[in-house]
Structure 1
Amino acid sequence: MEFAELIKTPRADNVVLHRPFYLAVEGTLCLTGHHLIFSSRRQDNAEELWLLHSNIDSIEKRFVGSLGTIVIKCKDLRIIQLDIPGMEECLNIASSIEALSTLDSVTLMYPFFYRPMFEIVEDGWRSFLPDQEFELLTSLTDEWRLSCINKEFSVCPSYPPVVIVPKSIDDEALRKVALFRHGNRFPVLSYYHKKNGMVMMRSSQPLTGTNGRRCKEDEKLINATLRPGKRGYIIDTRSLNVAQQARAKGGGFEQEAHYPQWRRIHKCIERFNILQESLIKLVEACNDQSHNMDRWLSKLEASNWLTHIKEILTAACLAAQCIDREGASVLVHGTEGTDSTLQVTSLAQIILDPRCRTIRGFESLVVREWLQ
């Protein structure tokens, strides 16, 4: 497919750009395969705006007479308004932006077309390989191993091909554990605490169901992370009520009778759709210039955004405290073991590990927890 097929009007003059807290600017708007580009006409202070189509979350169209207005809401919280003379031009540009910002194929995205104008000094694809992270771990302990059980994503489609697991657990046991966990996300190492040797693992919920199904391999894997005489904590990112309801759908949580050395703590973190609604309200409040301070604070509170942030930070602080102060290992999971689980494990590592608070360490954390 050619991008030109999607661009009905590649250029429009006399377009006025409006942004909250900035003066309006008149200039020329251009559309390319991956960018919306706005260039001002002012000779004294030329201004350019480059906006990736993939950064656009939604657009709205408005018309007053022959003047069309496009309001673009971006994924980075910006809201941009473009006043475009001519209804036809406005409609063409709006439909082009909608098409270019909702491309289905990943290979049509900007990174596959980007050609750097400088010398590449490092291959980013090989900067944070599991083998490199494992080398750091082996300098501290010999109780873990690299498993290639997920080669070609045959066991779990959302795990990397190589994962770090306890040395005492073989691959055949891991396969059985995977069948016992939602989406086959079996417990894997997320963080090793150098100070006391405690660990943080992550997974999805166990598939106990209403019959209280158990998996001895799962119990053995989780207990393999405990020191003799030590207890561990399971931090469930769902409320107790939601976790109990999950049993009716085949999910559930670790039964105390089968995991006696583990204490389960429920720290409710809202699911994605609730957080998205809250974020939308926050963005609207931040971009509304008509508010006085009292109304702004009221809308901020009504969005519940800070409440959600507090819940996530509280869960992460609890995980960090269990590991560092209680000297206990931790397993974190919700239902799928993705969004809320990774928020907690990532923030806990930032709290515990100074390396994660460096640029290089933070990059490694994002790749390890979110991308691989």
Structure 2
Amino acid sequence: MEFSEHIKTANVEDVVLHQPLHPPSRGTLCITGHHLLFSDRGDEGGSGSPRQVLLLLRNIDAIEKSVENLLGYSGLFSNAGRSERISGSSGTITIKCKDLRVLQLDIPGMEQCLNIAHSIETLSCLDCVSEMYPFFYRPSDLNLQDQWGLSSPENHYSQTPELHDRWRLSSVNRDYSVCPTYPQAAIVPKDVSDVTLVKVAKFRQGGRFPVLSYYHRKNGMVIMRSSQPLTGANRKRCSEDEQLLQAVIAGSDKGYIIDTRSSQQAQQARMTGGGFESKSCYSGWKRLHRQMERGKALQESLIKLVEACGDESHNMDRWLSKLENSKWLSHVQTALSTAGLLAECVERDGHSVLVHGSEGTDSSLLISTLAQIIMDPCCRTLEGFLALLEREWVQAGHPFQQRCAHSAHSHARLQQESPVFLLLLDCVWQLWRQFPLAMGFSEALLLRLANEAYASDYGTFLCNNDQERCASGVKEKTHCLFQALLRPRDTAHYSNPLYECTELAIWPSVHPQSLQLWRGFFLRWTTQTRHLEEAQEEIRNMIIEWGKLALS
């Protein structure tokens, strides 16, 4: 079906746009297959140039519409003090965006308003990947013939020669038949054959057998990721799974399993076919439970937080109560605390760790990523951080299309929604704020990534795993966000001018008084935050200029 079939009214004149941080403006509204374009008339006195607002329809989370018959006077846009008489019908469309903006369009004519609303509702919810904007976006400075992505499991393995003694690159999943959510290649213990991996995959939920996530160059310890074992109520065993995990800690006295569920949740999972590694079968491993909320609970937390941020009562007690009731900062605290525990096991205690929850596609990736940022200075550079996200989230099978289908405003609740990636970016921002010299990237990068995960010109966050991206032609027909962010013209904006590389681990404080609301994201459409951003940008520019003078 052509996009034009969904567009009953392509453009409307005399539309009034209300948007945060700007006065109302009157102009022309146009709707295309992927964008909403508003162009105002500029300063009617002739001194100002026209302004344009271009909104990707995929960024729209929910719309609300109302229509009414009008007969009266309007003084909003009057000439020489004379009010304009208006009559007939009018409509208002309120657009709530995934980046938390709220826009209002006042549209003359009831029919035009309803047509525009219907087109927005339809086009913003198209679920066919090949119809999404990244397949049509063609910036002049990027080439579809370029390599898609920053690296691959094969490149990562070849660039880490320390792995080659005890680890190998397996292509057992080359046709995605062993695990549909893993990439085609994975790093596994050298002593474990592909035949063994196939049997282990059948014993792990979704086929997500334990794979190498991180190798600690200083002590040779590793972080592994997987999904839960399918022990079930009958306590089934898999000797191949036990063999694989034993190979991970060969030459070491023990390893740790960090289960991101509570002990009770893990026990309950056995009743539905899941389970956990028992001490008797995995004698060299010690299991630690750290409950982390996921799925619907995390989504509801985001909704409550955004509602609190939109409260205009200006009552401090009410605001603090709503903030606490959202439990968002509690989720931040738990994630950082669990990641700190993981890093401590590897960095300080010198033990390898396997991390998993149920599916191994959400909280496991979250704490593995944070732990690597805590321990490894390479993951704290601009390029290293983006490569980490590509490896631990895009390639590792975080289902972005399901998790980020809607944000905090949508009226349609899907069970698969969960802002796990946004939680990661919030946690990284907390690290960035606590260690302002240790991070090679700016807050602007985190904000950009938060936007792109929900609505993007690029194909990086399309689909739910590598197999789906290959089937949809994402790597051949769309551009890679991470490569775009590393263009010379962008690196200055997304780099931290205060960055000083340190080989030391950065251990975050998780005390409640040490964690703050990420104002740059959750309150960015308020006047106070905008003024703070302008001041920070001015300071940033001064630092950059001082740096240039010091070098000259």
- Name the TM-score class by shorter chain: over 0.9
Please say which of residues 35-44 and 64-73 is displaced more in the overlay. Answer: 64-73
Matched, 1:179 2:183: no
Q: How does 1:266-285 map to 2 (within 5 A)?
A: 266-285=289-308
Partner amino acid, structure 2, of 1:228: G
The match for 1:63 is 67
In the alignment, the residues of structure 2 paired with residue 68 and residue 202 of structure 1 have an alpha-carbon distance, to the nearest angstrom, of 52
In the alignment, the residues of structure 2 paired with residue 330 and residue 175 of structure 1 have an alpha-carbon distance, to the nearest angstrom, of 22
Matched, 1:53 2:57: yes
Q: Which runs of 5 or more residues in structure 2 are unaligned?
A: 70-88, 396-552
Structure 1 length-normalised TM: 0.95
In the alignment, the residues of structure 1 paired with residue 250 and residue 22 of structure 2 have an alpha-carbon distance, to the nearest angstrom, of 59
In the alignment, the residues of structure 1 paired with residue 164 and residue 294 of structure 2 have an alpha-carbon distance, to the nearest angstrom, of 36
C-alpha root-mean-square deviation of aligned residues, in Å?
A: 1.8
Partner amino acid, structure 1, of 2:389: V
In the alignment, the residues of structure 2 paired with residue 24 and residue 293 of structure 1 have an alpha-carbon distance, to the nearest angstrom, of 29
Please say which of residues 186-195 and 41-50 is displaced more in the overlay. Answer: 41-50
The match for 1:190 is 213
Q: How does 1:66-145 map to 2 (within 5 A)?
A: 66-118=89-141, 120=143, 123-139=146-162, 141-145=164-168
What do residues 153-172 of structure 1 show as CA deviations (whole Å, max 9, x unaligned)? 11111011111111110000
Residue pair 1:20, 1:289 contacting (<8 A) in 2 also: no
In the alignment, the residues of structure 2 paired with residue 288 and residue 37 of structure 1 have an alpha-carbon distance, to the nearest angstrom, of 29
Residue pair 1:36, 1:50 contacting (<8 A) in 2 also: yes
The match for 1:216 is 239
Q: 1:367 aligns with which of 382, 386, 390?
A: 390
Partner amino acid, structure 2, of 1:18: H
What do residues 287-334 of structure 1 show as CA deviations (whole Å, max 9, x unaligned)? 333333332222211211111111111111111111101111111111
What do residues 222-255 of structure 1 show as CA deviations (whole Å, max 9, x unaligned)? 1211142421111111111111110000101000
The match for 1:358 is 381
In the alignment, the residues of structure 2 paired with residue 73 and residue 318 of structure 1 have an alpha-carbon distance, to the nearest angstrom, of 38
Matched, 1:28 2:32: no
Partner amino acid, structure 2, of 1:42: G
Aligned length: 372
Residue pair 2:162, 2:217 contacting (<8 A) in 1 also: no
Q: Which runs of 5 or more residues in structure 1 are unaligned?
A: none
In the alignment, the residues of structure 2 paired with residue 30 and residue 355 of structure 1 have an alpha-carbon distance, to the nearest angstrom, of 45
Structure 1 position 84, deviation (Å) = 1.9
Q: Which runs of 4+ in 1 moved over 6 A?
A: none
The match for 1:260 is 283
The match for 1:202 is 225
In the alignment, the residues of structure 2 paired with residue 273 and residue 222 of structure 1 have an alpha-carbon distance, to the nearest angstrom, of 32
> Aligned residues: percent identity?
59
In the alignment, the residues of structure 2 paired with residue 108 and residue 71 of structure 1 have an alpha-carbon distance, to the nearest angstrom, of 25
The match for 1:157 is 180
In the alignment, the residues of structure 2 paired with residue 46 and residue 275 of structure 1 have an alpha-carbon distance, to the nearest angstrom, of 41
Partner amino acid, structure 1, of 2:17: L
Please say which of residues 336-345 and 13-22 is displaced more in the overlay. Answer: 13-22
Structure 1 position 80, deviation (Å) = 2.2
In the alignment, the residues of structure 1 paired with residue 227 and residue 142 of structure 2 have an alpha-carbon distance, to the nearest angstrom, of 42
In the alignment, the residues of structure 1 paired with residue 320 and residue 106 of structure 2 have an alpha-carbon distance, to the nearest angstrom, of 30
Inter-CA distance 28–158: structure 2 relative to 1 (3 Å threshold): same
Partner amino acid, structure 1, of 2:12: A
Partner amino acid, structure 1, of 2:63: I
Residue pair 1:20, 1:287 contacting (<8 A) in 2 also: no
Structure 2 length-normalised TM: 0.65
In the alignment, the residues of structure 2 paired with residue 245 and residue 140 of structure 1 have an alpha-carbon distance, to the nearest angstrom, of 37
In the alignment, the residues of structure 2 paired with residue 281 and residue 22 of structure 1 have an alpha-carbon distance, to the nearest angstrom, of 26
Partner amino acid, structure 2, of 1:38: F
Partner amino acid, structure 2, of 1:92: N
Partner amino acid, structure 1, of 2:58: S
Residue pair 2:68, 2:110 contacting (<8 A) in 1 also: no
